[in-house]
Structure 1
């Protein structure tokens, strides 16, 4: 456009003439305030946009990308533009964070100029970072580091120059332990600071970022000395903090629940009272067997048949309630798009890893693909101390500081819940989630969870996403596994949540309010199915769990030995959970109510039902082959009808549930495999007996499951 035409356009419409409300909202408020621009008129098909610097290429590109029409930047003063923006986007109480202070703006501009003039950041990188800054308000330097445009050391050098502070290298530095621990661990962790030396009554304090005045006073009060701040690399500082306090973290992660709520810990497999009841029951059964052998066997068969039938009917009832309905907390795409990212909390992601170096790269890629500001992610990669390969792989990747390598000391029990407890103590997020190494969550899952927490009642402290598998079509085993998960997460858990029954959580993609999780004692490090146990403990304390309509894809075990190892651990943990919470049935009943008490026993009881399968299958097979009379005597009258109902209803329900779950999810390609589910049930019984035996021989042993055997498909879910 020529100068004359530009002049004509600006004369035809002026910012001072007023701004059409719809036109003023053509650009997001964050873009307007950050770049000091505002669309205010349309002249000859061109959108006129007020700008302080019409010749700035970054500003021109950002505006042009967001306006679906020719754009003309027109010079106005900053005061004119900001007044018009305030009129278009009025501020109310509590909105002060939407306005950038003059000091913050000067620091941001200085940072941008320093990095671009030195050639450390390209114009394109700066533009992307500025757009993200306009959405989140997070420091520009941190945004650039999180997207790996620059590394942390470059940012620390720039901050040192801007704030005229000295730097300190911590990668090979070990301070005096007594001095380092003089600052209380919670304060050191929260502020990310470590006392590293003392000179002439002044404590030298390594800091990740310059401390504001109130925080600085708090540190000086805690230390009883004045301090001088030294800037340090965030990753090096994080590793130093872990080394200083590792012994404390290890003790808490292992002993906290056991010492503060021993009745809720599985460190004792069977309590003394349970042992006494079990011995009495065995003695009575043996005596009855000696006195009335056939009657005793009939009674046992009848009781087993009744339990079997009740478990099947309960799951069938849950399925009928959920089938064809939508019981989850649903978050729409429009609600996600409307989220103000300035209001998003810091989100801690706990990722337990053990001998999974091969898939760390894929894990990092998938976490970075989440639709959540990286500057508000606190990713804890939890590695066991003896897993040197995974640890060295992570260190060699030189990940940006929102990824934290956490090395868990090598001590028993070596379980996933203990590693999660260890990582939870280092968490800085107000909400947290567990993802497994091979997980591939929906990109918007974190935002959906945050929105769900805002919508659900205050006693909901956990939001569970659905789980399924990306390799469900690999073979018959993976298809069965996907059928089962579809049934469990599409039907059973939503129905349990809607009825406010105790929910046995899934092993991953459960989102928590961090403070409540800490207060509850987090996970039981001695329970090998810690997620189910935690779900019950949450319920007993008056908290609830909500389901959200978001899915995390995992890798289904495609090899039977690997599947048996995983499933036997799960079932062993279900048995541990039942034994723990049934130590005091009266207390459980009073805390959960009759409905919750029955739901708990029928859910956890399914683990014991699996032990019965081979017994009944064996009796049926033996009778068909031999027509043995004593077997017929075991099923007189009512017992026969109950057992027959168990055989037909139980098998029908199991097949039906698997078909219904896949249909509910829309996975029509694997529904036919559900018709062969009784064969899968046989594998489950095999795993159940293995887990039952391990309950007494090696209760805390964590059977390792191999991951990374299959690459997930590219693209979305």
Structure 2
């Protein structure tokens, strides 16, 4: 055996008595993953003198030696073999799947790219090694991996591709398009191929492309344009911005009007329908007449109905909590299943992030998204900014983010709401699945992979997977602790129980994962509904689809200031009432679509907003009676009504406290459990916000109460 060199604890040799052609030791056959074997052309095959012999096409390559040594916990010797011998051994160990095996042409282009970048000093050996390892897992283009990890810029990659493919480049940063020319390629095709016509010459149409088009795609473009065309390589981010500018009017119209025009009965653009107005007027007239004729009995009747609604809603939530307490009702995804995922098979995943007046939080947002355990080359991150938010737009531009981050500027129009921005971004989405994250969100790193596996486990009619929400600043003050208790109750107990019962689930505003194509078919979010998430969850259910919960958590920032909290909560309550009004326009149709159990669940869930409106009335009457012993109040609570109201006072408040305690216990947040004992005070704030939202429903129904983020000093 002749030793030719030593690198990183790995020895390379040129001659040995044991050859790869003698066979592969079964113990070593799968010691190195297939992707690394094929990328670096290596194969472990025998043990000799306590060392693992590894066949290598380039036994002197330091990167190959380092990669192999990192994956084998014993001394390693690299043995030089021919490429054909190693490929044959790899194919025997890992039978090749044609679509997953790199073609000779692609390999030559990759090696040419690697040599060009390293010889010119544009990337370091360490950066190239990390990129090669990711390539071995994902099979994504080496250049795109280097750009995604900011080892080099997109402009450098475009220059390298221009050299390799002998294609001319074009700069689009300040380009003003001729719209007639740019729109010669239909928007869906331009978006899918990342290609757009930029000029016309006597010989051909000049088409800017992010990457050289495949032969089939090039033929389709030529057919669509009706003649020859020439490809010009462009920066992906600049090309993306150009496509948005060319088609912004179309995107804006669809994001605002699609649901309103295709399903007007499902849109909240009309707050109260004519039929609902008629019923409401008749009910008011009837109550007034009864009040004149039988004043005391009418008031008793109103108190009785309110008490009954109040009690039923409380018992319903209590029942859901008991069902979920101490159980695991979420769709299970194990660590082993996550580890077993083949990253070459991972689909593109779109992340929609609505931003408004949140420039300061953008760097942390970028950091947290890049921390996700998902190949960055398979991410399609849409940073959705309003046109008048210059500060946030300028901040994003100043960061020079890699091309998997897309700045999306939503034209300034009404309604200026989060769902309209999400609808706008959804039209640009390229992912098979999509998810919404808010600016301050900190999702579990493996959440995207968990959602993908969950979609494989659940029935085909499950098109949404909801992760849990909680707060990272729950210990900041009493308000944040109450907020965290409430979230624990809602996401750890109530929603899992509703999912297990296949009841209509009002989605959370973030971390809900969708099948993109189905979301588009349903008309996406209602831009006029200020709790678009809850509304969408009900619409999904009505169309025969279902939502599943997964055991993955996204941490948000709990509002730590009362005024900020009231703004957010008043919007939620306004939206819940909006949602109830929309879906109760035709109660018979709703009942037919959801069934009796679903119908009752919907009304009791949305009914919580009305219960919050009742609270101050009951509290006022109770306080007034204690202070005055006014006999008139006694008359409102005769016999059974008194006992029902007393039950509300004691049982209802007990249930509310119990739910909050149970939620924090279920999550294991024992440090804030004691704050749940003071939950009735929190309930008072909720009622304040509910009345504000209720009044605003009639004065400014589509106004989006902005919640400020970044108020927690420890959140930056």
TM-score (norm 1): 0.98
Tell me how far apart the structure 2 counterparts of residues 28 and 344 of structure 1 sit (CA, whole Å): 17
Residue of structure 2 equivalent to 1:27: 32
Tell me how far apart the structure 1 counterparts of residues 165 and 13 of structure 2 sit (CA, whole Å): 46
Per-residue Cα deviation, 1:28-47 (whole angstroms, up to 9, x for no partner): 11000110101111212211
2:67 is the counterpart of 1:48: no
Tell me how far apart the structure 1 counterparts of residues 683 and 137 of structure 2 sit (CA, whole Å): 51
Aligned-pair distance for 1:644?
A: 1.2
Residue of structure 2 equivalent to 1:230: 232
Q: Paired residue for 1:70, among 72, 75, 80?
A: 75
Q: Work out whether residues 13 and 80 of structure 2, in 8 Å CA contact, stay in contact via their aligned partners in 1.
A: no
Aligned-pair distance for 1:645?
A: 1.3
Tell me how far apart the structure 1 counterparts of residues 550 and 587 of structure 2 sit (CA, whole Å): 31
Per-residue Cα deviation, 1:304-356 (whole angstroms, up to 9, x for no partner): 00000000000011001101100001211111111100000000000000000
Residue of structure 2 equivalent to 1:437: 439
Residue of structure 2 equivalent to 1:537: 539
Q: 1:7 to 1:344 in 2, by over 3 A?
A: closer
Residue of structure 2 equivalent to 1:3: 3
Residue of structure 1 equivalent to 2:182: 180
SS in 2 for 1:241: helix
Q: 1:290 to 1:364 in 2, by over 3 A?
A: same
Superposed, which structure 2 residues align to 1:117-136 within 5 Å?
A: 117-136=119-138
Residue of structure 1 equivalent to 2:581: 579
2:395 is the counterpart of 1:390: no
Tell me how far apart the structure 2 counterparts of residues 343 and 414 of structure 1 sit (CA, whole Å): 38
Aligned-pair distance for 1:8?
A: 9.7
Q: Work out whether residues 2 and 14 of structure 2, in 8 Å CA contact, stay in contact via their aligned partners in 1.
A: no
Residue of structure 2 equivalent to 1:522: 524
Q: 1:232 to 1:561 in 2, by over 3 A?
A: same
Tell me how far apart the structure 2 counterparts of residues 3 and 601 of structure 1 sit (CA, whole Å): 78
Q: Work out whether residues 2 and 13 of structure 2, in 8 Å CA contact, stay in contact via their aligned partners in 1.
A: no
Aligned-pair distance for 1:467?
A: 0.2
Per-residue Cα deviation, 1:612-670 (whole angstroms, up to 9, x for no partner): 00000000000000000010110111111111111111111110110001000000000
Residue of structure 1 equivalent to 2:64: 59
Residue of structure 2 equivalent to 1:79: 84
Per-residue Cα deviation, 1:52-83 (whole angstroms, up to 9, x for no partner): 01100000011111111111111011111111
Per-residue Cα deviation, 1:115-161 (whole angstroms, up to 9, x for no partner): 00000010000000000000000000000000000100000000011
RMSD of aligned residue pairs (Cα, Å): 1.3
Q: 1:10 to 1:97 in 2, by over 3 A?
A: same
Tell me how far apart the structure 1 counterparts of residues 166 and 508 of structure 2 sit (CA, whole Å): 50
- Consecutive unaligned residues of structure 2, counting only runs of 5 or more, are 6-10
Q: Work out whether residues 12 and 77 of structure 2, in 8 Å CA contact, stay in contact via their aligned partners in 1.
A: no
**Greater alpha carbon shift after TM alignment, 1-10 vs 127-136:** 1-10
- Consecutive unaligned residues of structure 1, counting only runs of 5 or more, are none
Residue of structure 2 equivalent to 1:262: 264
Superposed, which structure 2 residues align to 1:470-489 within 5 Å?
A: 470-489=472-491
TM-score (norm 2): 0.98
Aligned-pair distance for 1:202?
A: 1.1
Aligned-pair distance for 1:10?
A: 5.8
Aligned-pair distance for 1:13?
A: 2.6
Tell me how far apart the structure 2 counterparts of residues 252 and 98 of structure 1 sit (CA, whole Å): 37
Superposed, which structure 2 residues align to 1:562-577 within 5 Å?
A: 562-577=564-579
User: Number of residues paired by the alignment?
Assistant: 711
Aligned-pair distance for 1:96?
A: 1.8
SS in 2 for 1:148: coil
SS in 2 for 1:206: strand
Residue of structure 1 equivalent to 2:8: none
Aligned-pair distance for 1:183?
A: 1.1
Q: 1:625 to 1:8 in 2, by over 3 A?
A: closer
SS in 2 for 1:608: helix
Residue of structure 2 equivalent to 1:709: 711
Aligned-pair distance for 1:570?
A: 0.5
SS in 2 for 1:382: strand
Residue of structure 2 equivalent to 1:171: 173
Residue of structure 2 equivalent to 1:294: 296
2:641 is the counterpart of 1:636: no
Q: 1:712 to 1:513 in 2, by over 3 A?
A: farther
2:656 is the counterpart of 1:654: yes
Q: Work out whether residues 13 and 77 of structure 2, in 8 Å CA contact, stay in contact via their aligned partners in 1.
A: no
Residue of structure 2 equivalent to 1:680: 682
Tell me how far apart the structure 2 counterparts of residues 106 and 126 of structure 1 sit (CA, whole Å): 16
2:494 is the counterpart of 1:492: yes
**Greater alpha carbon shift after TM alignment, 177-186 vs 688-697:** 177-186
Q: Paired residue for 1:325, among 324, 327, 332?
A: 327
Tell me how far apart the structure 2 counterparts of residues 712 and 549 of structure 1 sit (CA, whole Å): 26
2:269 is the counterpart of 1:276: no
SS in 1 for 2:27: helix
Superposed, which structure 2 residues align to 1:396-411 within 5 Å?
A: 396-411=398-413
Per-residue Cα deviation, 1:400-433 (whole angstroms, up to 9, x for no partner): 0000000000111000000000000000001000
Q: Work out whether residues 476 and 673 of structure 1, in 8 Å CA contact, stay in contact via their aligned partners in 2.
A: yes
Q: Work out whether residues 421 and 523 of structure 1, in 8 Å CA contact, stay in contact via their aligned partners in 2.
A: yes
